[in-house]
Chains A and B, each alone.
Chain A
């Protein structure tokens, strides 16, 4: 008998797959961005079904909030109504791309089926660990002790990225012209 958690997973998985396909297939980039928001939100729900509550919150804030707003803002900056050539051309090239993706999907699916299909379902966590405060505290402890060096390096990387993005947007000259 399927539990309500299983139904929740199937619902969220279906939503994320359908709207993930929408990101690829919609011709208008604004529709792609809106599909991306719904995909991000359902992926946050999937993180919730895996008891990763803090990561689900970060997913909502960083992806569904900040990153998608950035995308939509840049799309509004451009006027892309005349964008016609949405997909790459060439029957052979597209066939090779589709075939390569299909082969990769088949390999991944077969590997998962052969390796993990016989695994039992997730063991229920001990009652102390299901409390979201305890789980978040564990995450913070390992982030600020074991992974403190990576954390600091990520901070420096963000600083470099901020400077780089500002520099890129200030570039006006160049060696080539549009015409």
Chain B
């Protein structure tokens, strides 16, 4: 396939490729890491990837509705980080470690 210089001009598809790559990185982290705090960080990474595609579509459609959605996603992400870290602190107080396998002892 010959390299088309027009394909390097940045458009909507480039932003979507970047967004899906970042999302996959975050997903790999959530699946493969054992540290709860790093898992929360990777969830933030995935939310950021989704925000990129929201903003790209909002710019593409020339509407501000996507930006409002990003505003809400950011609020939810901050709240989720607060609760997740509070849970991690609770688990750490009990088991002196934040490995994800200790979360299965939380029942009851």
Contacts and interface: CB of A to CB of B under 8 A. Distances in A.
A and B physically associate: yes
Contacts, number: 231
Given A9-B14, A46-B18, A150 B72 contact: yes
B97 A83 contact: yes
Given A51-B59, A174-B94, A116 B75 contact: no
A117 interface: yes
Interface residues of A, number: 89
Interface residues of B, number: 77
**Chain B contact residues, majority secondary structure:** helix
A127 interface: no
Nearest to B24: A105
B20 A109 contact: yes
Contact of A176 (B16, B40, B72, B105): B105
A158 B37 CA distance: 21
B18 A119 contact: no
Contact of A117 (B13, B35, B65, B68): B13
A133 interface: no
Contacts of B20: 105, 108-109, 112
Interface of A: 1-2, 5-6, 9-10, 13, 16-17, 20-21, 23-24, 29, 32-33, 36, 39-40, 43, 46-47, 50-52, 54-55, 58-59, 62-63, 66-67, 70-71, 74-75, 77-78, 80, 83, 85-88, 94, 97-98, 100-101, 104-105, 108-109, 112-113, 116-117, 119-123, 125, 129, 135, 138-139, 142-143, 146-147, 150, 154, 157-158, 161-162, 164-165, 168-169, 171-172, 174-178
Sorted nearest first, the 7 A-B pairs with minimum C-beta distance are A24-B29, A108-B20, A168-B86, A121-B11, A116-B13, A161-B79, A165-B86
